[in-house]
Structure 1
Amino acid sequence: MTSPNMFFFLTDQHRVDTLPCYGNRIVQTPWLDSVTAEGTVFDRFYTPTAICTPARASLLTGEAPFRHQLLANYERNVGYTEDLCPEHRAFSRDLREHGYNVGLAGKWHVGLQRTAADFGFDALHMHGWHNPVDLPEYERYLSDRGLPPYRLTDEIRGTFPNGTPGNLLAARLDQGIEATFERFLGDLAIERLRQYAEEFHRDGTPFFLATHFFGPHLPYNLPAEYFDLYDPDDVELPPSIAETFLGKPPVQANYSAHWTFDTLSEETSRKLIAAYWGYVTMIDHEIGRIVDVARELGVYDEAAVFFSADHGEFTGAHRLHDKGPAMYEDIYRVPGVVRPPGGGPTQHRTEFADLIDLTATIDDLAGIDSERATDGNSLLPILRGETPEWRSDYVAEFHGHHFPYPQRMLVTDRYKLIVNPESVNEFYDLVADPYELTNRYGFPECEEIRDAHLALLYRRLRDRGDNFYHWMTSMYPVGGKDYDTSLSSFERHGS
């Protein structure tokens, strides 16, 4: 197989239920609709951790967070490593070694000091979690075109527990679409695409071009055309807005207060979701512009196309915004759409898959050993419509954001187990309770299946080498002790 060109589109903090391919009947995403018509939608697609930097590092390296050790966003780092160690591989470097042009337009957010260029990307460095609207290149972009500077009106905020104004959640952007940072990113990607297409047609050099948008991450700062695109009256609030936090870890109620949910009116909550939907459509339009140019240049039809997100967003679900130490589907289940080179069967698949599987798939397409993505598996057999032997459960992890907060999660076909060492554990029946409102961990009728999940998670963590399992050895019914739990020479193996 010749090495195909690849387009990789990544959004930030993106709910699956904003997309028609996942059942939304209001939001317009014509570009993504065209990809799903020629590819695979993964209905159970996950992030290995619901926070930007660790998730993006996993995508880059093909390793779970506990392995690559980049565990927190630098803006809220609480003492963890702030950059990947040099020995960790990066698929981008491997692509370079295999003759690819490798480009990135947009968000990086993988560590503090080392940039995308350090990992082999052609890229304008953009740090941080939000649109860097003070970026000199963006300011020059506006000036050269006589476009207005970035300015916000109609800000939406709640009130912090201490009585001060809360984080900015959304605002109207006093710019036209042509002046948005998203248009700037689209133009950067198109500029790089033209260069790569020329080299591809001239000497056959394949390319991998990633466009990483900073949205629809909050705050949803949008021009009027998108801020007002959807009617708040058409918004159905998430059913889990009925969350009481009864029987849940107390940290969730604390996060709810931090994100000021209870200080917002229902009308405001609907407007926030409507604006979020507008953000999704705006990004879809910018991706469509890139694809249109790719078609004009004759480099799209035989290319592979990937679309995903680093993690999800609450938008009021569970009386929360943003993400945090709560391993709900809202933030762990993300879009996963892949069109193989030249297109493939139109299908929805239910296999558990994740961002690291995309890393393995990129490797496989480029002729690189996909096992270099240590914690992933190539999706190519599934994309071809085959039914390969595949994982029957999925493990995710979290290490903290504003403060250390270790968690591990196991999802099976019907159930979800979450281990919170300093708090109550959680156990959800995703069939009977799809919005995860009732923590069944302590229900007597769930004891047998819950304990089976504890034992399964324990085995999965031990097999991976994730030392979190040591806590589980003594605390939960995971089977007899079969190793020296003191990690010393005092006990004999098997005692």
Structure 2
Amino acid sequence: MTAATGPSDTRRTNVLFLMTDQHRVDTLGAYGNRMAQTPTLDALAASGTRFDRWYTPTAICTPARASLLTGQAPFRHRVLANHERNVGYLEDLEDGTFTFVEALREHGYNTGLVGKWHAGTVKNAAAFGFDGPDLPGWHNPVDHEDYLAYLAERDLPPYEISDRIRGTLPNGGPGNLLAARLHQPLEATFEHYLATRTIEMLERYADDFRSGARPFFLELNFFGPHLPYVVPDKYFDLVDPETVPLPRSIAETFQGKPPVQANYSAHWTFDTMPIETTRKLIAVYWGYVAMIDLEIGRVMAALERLGLTDETAVFFSCDHGEFTGSHRLHDKGPAMYEDIYRTPGILRVPGGPAGQVRTEFVSLLDCTATILDLAGIDPAPAVDSRSLVPLAAGEHPEWADDIVCEFHGHHFPYPQRMLRTDRYKLVVNPDSTNELYDLETDPDELLNVYSHPEMAGVRHRMMRRIYQVLRERGDNFYHWMTTMYDVGDVDHDPTQSGLDETTYAVAPA
């Protein structure tokens, strides 16, 4: 993608960035879930722009968050795995890497982050210029001193759980905790704490903004609805499991699919739990989303109370999706299904049209250039990002009709690249079978048609297109593809030997 130019005026807009973790797009009423209890986010979509084809650059927490921070695709910034399951990749951005937060501070912005960081190991949010409590890790740090002080000040009870839900691992051990009942009132939950701290920071930033001293960027990052879904009684029991529709991809057989998917299913213990447990997990997940929506509502009400609504752009998205039983899987991993790559994405900019729905392929990566654009800063250093401001403003610029995503491993190295078009999805798996899905006839991605003879034309066209994009980006994954697949005529020496004039192009007869 090419970066957009800056806005025509130099007015510096405030930005409120709301982010969740591991959030399915089909949990929101704005995206068609009639059973959803998400009035705050539905209202945000109704007052701004809902993006229907919003994708994560990679479905894993730390690399996706590093991409948001830098505007670089994961292969470029090279922070490719979570610290907790790191398989030898970089764990922190290299010194000197461009980040939007440092650019904002240099241009006079207050910059705050409350909640999940998880974009590096040694370098925390403060190292890049964010105000806010240091909250490391991938799940709610319920033993954090600031959270414990929050509870003590309000005479609220500590974290305690029961009704744990987990399966059985292949080796007979207990599976990962998937959900549990939390014995705390709503006011004591970590989510309520995060929203409270965000409102406190928003009030401080509002004073600076009104005085003319500084505009602000404020990011609220919830750790949920990432599993385990640990919520109080009201939300644990909010949705009747008997009313929950099961995902159709629960019929997954893994036939014709890369074997790693069946292995991941065993790791996440899906087949060791009755189907009623799957329904309950989905119900609790929806309850978790409803609870987070309520807390976002508190922050949005504070924005209105402080008179900042008309001068603040509001984003909502997440780092990636969640399986929650789809394809007999939980969490995320080496399977590039829509469940974890297509995510919610909502943006409201001051003066933009209300209730707009856009179908362009956009990415969490594009938020970086958008934030810079709103601040009147040249977004060019966010090299893999493109500003969404024209789309949110109702304009119709030329836009790519496909999107490329990538994956590098979780628990173990596992490289993948994906091309998504209007109808089809191609996934290149060097260690295994490639995948091709017709999302018009098979929206649940159950039938891999990569080897079907009638799909040869589609397969060849998409393989050549993804090869072209990877070469243009400088993603060296293309080297493997050069010798293994029909990538079309090649205008370079694929051996990189420099010893003769050979190219991979077929010589004329």
Q: TM-score, normalised by structure 1?
A: 0.99
Asked whether 1:247 is paired with 2:250, we answer: no
Question: For residue 443 of structure 1, what is the amino acid of its counterpart?
Answer: H
**Which residue number in structure 1 is paired with residue 423 of structure 2?**
414
1:44-91 per-position Cα deviation (integer Å, ceiling 9, x unaligned)? 100000000000000000000000000000100011111100121000
Q: 1:24-63 residue pairs with structure 2 within 5 A?
A: 24-63=33-72
Are 1:72 and 2:77 matched, yes or no? no
Distance in 1 (alpha carbons) for counterparts of 2:374 and 2:220: 19
- Asked if structure 1 preserves the Cα contact closer than 8 Å seen for 2:419 and 2:426, the reply is yes
**Matched-pair contact (CA < 8 Å) for 1:482–1:493:** no
Q: Which residue of 2 aligns with 1:168?
A: 177
Show the 5 A alignment for 1:62-461: 62-461=71-470
Further displaced range: 377-386 or 254-263: 377-386
Describe the SS at the equivalent of 1:122: coil
Q: Is the 8 A contact 1:172 1:224 kept in 2?
A: yes
| Deviation per residue, 1:227-277 (Å, 9 max, x gap) | 111111110010000000000000000000000000111111111001000
Q: Is the 8 A contact 2:352 2:394 kept in 1?
A: no
Deviation for aligned residue 1:168: 0.2
Provide the alpha-carbon RMSD of the alignment.
Answer: 1.0
Structure 1, residues 129-181: CA drift from partner, whole Å, max 9, x if none? Answer: 10011111111111221111101100001000111110000000010101000
Deviation, structure 1 residue 381 = 1.1
Corresponding residue of 1:12 = 21
Superposition deviation, residue 299 in structure 1: 1.3
**Secondary structure in 2 matching 1:159:** coil
Q: Which amino acid aligns with 2:224?
A: G
In structure 2, C-alpha distance between the alignment counterparts of 1:469 and 1:123, rounded to whole Å: 41
State the shift of 1:364 in Å: 0.5
With normalisation by structure 2, the TM-score equals 0.96
Q: Is the 8 A contact 1:59 1:358 kept in 2?
A: yes
* Runs of 5+ unmatched residues, structure 2: 1-8, 505-509
- For the Cα contact (< 8 Å) 2:19–2:222, is it kept in 1? yes
Q: Is the 8 Å Cα contact of residues 103 and 192 (structure 1) preserved in structure 2?
A: yes
**What letter corresponds to residue 161 of structure 2 in structure 1?**
L
Give the counterpart letter for 1:332 in structure 2: Y
Gaps in structure 1 of 5+ consecutive residues: none
Contact 2:158 2:184 in 1 (8 A): yes
Contact preservation (8 Å) 1:345, 1:385: no
Aligned positions, number: 495
Structure 1 residue 294: deviation in Å? 1.4
Q: Secondary structure of 1:137's match?
A: helix
> Quick one: distance in 2 between partners of 1:100 and 1:131?
28
User: 1:481, CA displacement in angstroms?
Assistant: 3.6
Distance 2:297 2:263 in 1: 40
Task: Note the C-alpha offset of 1:416.
Answer: 0.3
Checking the alignment, whether the CA contact within 8 Å between 2:351 and 2:393 is kept in structure 1 is no
The more displaced of 340-349 and 81-90 is 340-349
2:184 aligned partner, one-letter code: Q
* Matched residue SS, 1:123: coil
Structure 2 CA distance, aligned partners of 1:33 and 1:119? 32
- Given that 2:494 and 2:503 are in contact with CA atoms closer than 8 Å, whether structure 1 keeps it comes out as no
Q: Which runs of 4+ in 1 moved over 3 A?
A: none
- How much has 1:426 moved relative to structure 2? 0.2
| Fraction of identical pairs, as percent | 64
